[in-house]
Amino acid sequence: MLALRLARGAHPLVLLRRLLVAAASAGVGFLLLCALTHALAHPGDSAASLLRLSWCAIPLAATVQFAVAVARTDPGTRPRTGLSAIGLGPGRMALLSASSTAVAGTLGSAVALLLFLHLRGDLTGLPLDGAAAELLAAEQPLPFAATLTLLTLAPLGATAAAALALRPREDDPAPDARPAPPSAPGGLPWGCTLTAVGLAVGTYAAHTDGGASVQLPGELDSNPVGVLVGWALTAVGLAIAGPALTHFCGRLLQTFRPSAVRLLAGRVLMAESHRIGRPLGVVCAVASAVIAAWTLAGEGPRPFGPLTGLGAALVIACTSATLLIAAVDVRRTRTETMGELRGLGAPAGSLRLAAALRVAALLLVFAPLTWAVATLAAAPLTG
């Protein structure tokens, strides 16, 4: 009940974020139900149905990441000094944030179920002149247990991830404490290793069937499962290496006799590499996958199917929104510091120039990396 009261009295932008989490959960739930109907319509082709279900793990992971980012920046459930006296300590506030995530995810799954049943004609007859009847196996009854299990994946995954990410730790600073000075994050060797292994697995899987190449866009069940595994490993590797690469961008800005503006820009990137590095690495992975898919699409008019387009749009939207939320949260935490700099006489133009330098440094490192990963992933798959 407390979580519902906080949601009702939240700021409109906070409510908008939670509604976006619900929308992402609805999209994932709809994709999972579509994979279920494919299994119902093709009982003898379990391998293809399992592969379709496996492809849904990518938008599911993007939705969980987005839900965690929203929970981290929820001002209504952020620990504050003095709330522990009334039983609202860090642990209790983390549970409240997880409860808000569960409410948003459950709402999205309910919307997905209603939309799915409406398109199947189970509520008010077949809409759209029955165009979606064959795609959603309208003639087959839905198994209750399987439907309920699939619809709970997104809410449970997002809730568990939010509770795990926001759990109180002994080394957490006080709510009003200043951030610790930067130390270089690890993970770069593991990230590079996983990225290389993912590219190798995708290349090997593309040529296991007599040297056949992968053609995208196309049917998901026509592509080897190793391609999915390879791209997943590549994405995880880039996400792990993201904080270290962001820290390197800060170091890069401070080389060769840096000015005060370059020094400020580099120190901010180094200090916030843990917050924006991982979402930036995930966006890098998604962008490389989009470039690779565009390269493999060829010149012929072979459009994406509706479910493939929905999944791709969901992944791109969730990862981009996660990075945007992380950037806004970093700017919020730096408001006091920037105010002190202005009080000391720092011109506003210098602060804007420092922000532009941070963006330029990130593009200088991550843009070539994205293009290189996309090229290496697409080159052997073109046959």
Q: Tell me: the pLDDT tens digits for 108-145?
A: 999 999 988 887 777 676 555 555 666 676 677 788 89
Q: Contact, 111 vs 26, CB < 8 A? A: yes
pTM reported for the whole predicted model: 0.84
pLDDT for the residue numbered 215? 43
- Does the pLDDT value for residue 211 go beyond 60? no
- Mean pLDDT for the chain overall: 80
Nearest Cα residue to 64 out of 202, 187, 239, 207: 239
Q: Give residue-wise pLDDT tens across range 265-305.
A: 899 899 889 889 999 999 999 999 888 877 776 644 444 56
The pLDDT assigned to 307 comes to: 76
- The answer, yes or no, to whether residue 214 has pLDDT greater than 50, is no
Residue 69: closest CA among 343, 325, 358: 325
Can you give the length of the chain in residues? 383
Cα–Cα distance for residue pair 326/43, rounded to 1 Å: 44
pLDDT digits (tens, 9 = 90+) for 157-198: 999 999 888 877 655 555 444 455 457 778 889 999 999 998
Q: Identify the band that residue 48 occupies on the pLDDT scale cut at 50, 70 and 90.
A: confident
Please give the DSSP secondary-structure letter assigned to residue 333: H
Helix (H) or strand (E) holding 211: none
Question: Has residue 258 got a pLDDT over 50?
Answer: yes
CB-based contact 311:56 (threshold 8 Å): yes
